[in-house]
Structure 1
């Protein structure tokens, strides 16, 4: 009889424990970080920009209070781009907000692993951070950037921006042996009214050896910029690089595979 009761109650106990750890991920980079930690199964809601198949809960800047309340998560994890008064307004009673950084360095991505584990009461956060540090630094060390002078660009169209100092990509590509010629701290938005109105203006000013663009395909605008400035464009998958999260390990694998583009 005792064994029968245990067999009946055990799934209920496990289920209750799982419900206590339910999470709303308010950004794709949060989702990628949770996946690295093996916590995807705890995610019950994601932002509208996420690719994970879960109910949508708005965006970083405009979280959907009703959707979040209906999900009744134990935790909502967002970035420091969400203003505090917005968090106070949308987070339901009983839900714990967890705010992450990650945009200024690779070290902040490591810190996010620890912060999530500590907030959720999951053991091994520091070990996970150390594992990720070892993985990304080893992959970066295998890449020969050859001191190539580069600009790191989100895109060639729309509202492009260039990654400068105090960003995770500046940090990452330095470790991979590149020289990033952008002098602006954080990101430089390229738009009419700013110092550089178009991508070609930025390229002509800094004269990099290569323009690294985080889009899978060249596109007409990038191709035109390359022809007008005589600077070669290297396209990389933005899904791997534009999220300050451990998914960047896949990006380093892609970058290594494209090494002949700047070493030939």
Structure 2
């Protein structure tokens, strides 16, 4: 198992942000974490990456406890992309991606042939080889997000954790990023855990979905089973239904906005 966790709990002071969270990942699997704001999605990702210490439970990479691993050892196995990563605007894509090799190169060793091949592979996998000399400030939102994913891939990590990778992107760029995520899973065998707001995107791209609410796991399983469970309407407090859009395609969740507006709801899509 590339990645797993058992009964992870995380406290922020007196507040429990995550309670008894467990998952088991297969190689090349895409797992979507969904839930309302404050449900524990980002906390779960950070705990899996070893960036925060759980109060209970443990996360493991290839059956080795993350808490027992050095940051350099973790970085060789797992790459984590936060919601809003920061780098100087004048940095080029190539320079950013080269930073992804730091866990392998270190601070005082030059890049060898294997490092250069990993960098080239990361740029090719994300479709950025021809743009490598462009600065970050020259990039579109989708290109910038792809650049960050490329830097993560240069680590040659078999596990990729993404925190809201499509947030703040226009729909075209969202599709671009999700297509890349899917190709990395299917063509490269990268295991991916992705926190995401859009329910339909989560259902369309993921092999399994974990639904969180108030730090607790409410559902973990096949996307179609979630669609049939009624938990989306209950957890997000919306009125709507899943509809079939075609043979072999995932169901699509439609919110009944007109009905809600007729009831005087102040926020479209939410019950009063």
TM, length-normalised to structure 1: 0.27
Greater percentage in strand: 2
| Greater relative contact order, per chain length (Cα 8 Å cut-off, separation 6+) | 2
Whichever structure has more helix as a proportion of its residues is 1
User: Larger C-alpha radius of gyration, 1 or 2?
Assistant: 1
Under a length normalisation based on structure 2, what TM-score does the superposition of the two structures give?
0.26
